[in-house]
Amino acid sequence: MRVLVTGGAGFIGSQIVTALTERGHEPVVLDALLPAVHAARRQRPEPAEPAEQADPAGHLAHPQHPQHPQHPAHAAHPMHPLHAGPPSPPSPPSLPCPPLPPDGVRQLTGDVRDAGTVRAALRGVDAVCHQAAMVGLGKDFAEAPDYVSCNDLGTAVLLAGMAETGVGTLLLAGSMVVYGEGRYECPSHGVVRPGPRAVEALRAGLFEPECPVCGAQLAPGAVGEDAPADPRNTYATTKLAQEHLASSWARATGGRAVSLRYHNVYGPGMPRDTPYAGVAAFFRSALTRGESPAVFEDGAQRRDFVHVRDVAEANAVALEALHEPGGGHRPGGFTPYNVGSGHPHTVGELAHALAEACGGPAPVVTGEFRLGDVRHITASSERIATELGWRARTGFPEGVREFAAAEMRTPVTS
């Protein structure tokens, strides 16, 4: 199976390319290689299709783009619970740049928002694995046009190209951020959906959501794929819109679409020192600088940290199921799957585990907060286990130890 992997040079995308190659498939990479995400590579990517779509430097044409990451989401995916703010210089010498794709993998440089680039990249493709996105909570609402452009316009252009060229299989990098606060139970009122947390309560250090009916303390639980969507920030809103676009495309064309709703993805190759990465990258970046990880709120926020290799395997398994005529995915259908480890941990637990594995200073709980963050979000991954046979295989202790010693990619900041 020849698979176009958009964002295939990024944190998650590059691992998917490796997983597909190891399973005997033929990935083709399309990535804008924006400097906010990617350090300089050791050689130029090979232009996948010749000169009719390429400029003299061998790059596919693409429009001007914001200097923000367009890459797989969920680097410790979206709605990253904590954030120590933009890192302060000086930083240590740059770590080695990300490895080149496996031998024989073709890589195009271009933007998914450019229709000509997309048409050229789709030539001869059997399926698309759409990882390219602007991820994370970002800096402020002024970035909303960039998020919508990269994520939603980019997805619309890609889907239009697929409809035009007859490519009928799509795997979308979704996110658990579409659920908002997640699932809670009140002792008196059962399952409830708390609204956004009040600024006054957050300032007073009252971080736990309350029952919207009686104000009682709530117990967080695991969200299923059929739970109502409730995005709480710009990034989450664009990820939900991507799913709606994918579902509309499937109905209109008879294609098959799956969204893998990633939890907080971590592991080797995460970008360092950028406000668009995940909480695991923030902590690891601080420790690399010899600083204590800054833990927001009280550190008791629950997340599901899932290793990037497990996420890559989930993509490969889902693509194979989508492509098989008897794989259980009907034409015109759209199916979401939660992708997590199944073993939630608090953000504070992650900070302490990383600090210990790195031999660095202990975390500092700051009590700070961000309005776009939710308190707890963990989801059940039983559907993908039951229907596709996928389960995460990397445990939290070994994954954190590996991540503590692994290389991180250094964005170009100039």
DSSP state letters, 166-190: T--EEEEEEEGGGGTT-EEEETTTE
Q: What is the pLDDT of residues 236-294, one digit of tens each?
A: 999 999 999 999 999 999 999 999 999 999 999 998 877 777 899 999 999 999 999 99
Q: In this structure, is residue 414 part of a structural domain?
A: no
Residue 325 is predicted with a pLDDT of 75
Residue 413 in any domain: the answer is no
Tokens encoding 345:
């941990």
Cα–Cα distance, 23 to 216 (Å, whole number) = 50
- Domain of 366, in residue numbers: 2-405
According to the model, what pLDDT value does residue 37 have?
61
Q: What is the predicted pLDDT for the residue at 411?
A: 64
Q: How far apart are CA 243 and CA 249, in angstroms?
A: 10
Distance (Å, whole) CA 315 – CA 259: 10
89 part of a folded domain: yes
If you ran DSSP here, which 8-state letter would residue 355 be given? H
* Cα–Cα distance measured from residue 403 to residue 409, given in angstroms and rounded to the nearest whole number: 12
CATH number assigned to the domain comprising residue 195: 3.40.50.720
Q: What is the pLDDT of residue 326?
A: 64
Q: For residue 287, is it within any domain?
A: yes
Across 198-355, the runs of DSSP E, i.e. the strands, are 219-223, 256-262, 264-266, 294-295, 302-303, 305-307, 334-339, 345-346
Dist CA 213 CA 138 (whole Å) = 33
């709120």: which residue's tokens? 297
| pTM (predicted TM-score) | 0.85
User: Are the C-beta atoms of 277 and 134 separated by less than 8 Å?
Assistant: no
Question: What CA–CA distance (Å, rounded) separates 39 from 278?
Answer: 18
Cis before 93 (ω within 30): no
As a whole-number percent, the residues of the chain with pLDDT over 70 amount to 82
Strand segments (E) across 296-333:
302-303, 305-307
Q: Tell me how many domains the chain contains.
A: 1
Contact 12, 72 (CB under 8 A): yes
Is residue 33 in a domain?
yes
Name the 3-class secondary structure at 346.
Answer: strand
Q: Report d(CA 361, CA 391) in Å as an integer.
A: 34
Amino acid (one-letter) located at 228:
P
Residues in the chain predicted with pLDDT less than 70, given as ranges, are 35-99, 326-328, 411-414
Judge whether 149 and 113 are in contact, CB under 8 Å. Answer: yes
Is-contact 231 239, C-beta < 8 A?
A: yes
**Is residue 410 situated within a structural domain?**
no
115 belongs to a structural domain: yes
Largest CA distance in the chain: 68
Determine, yes or no, domain membership for 29.
yes
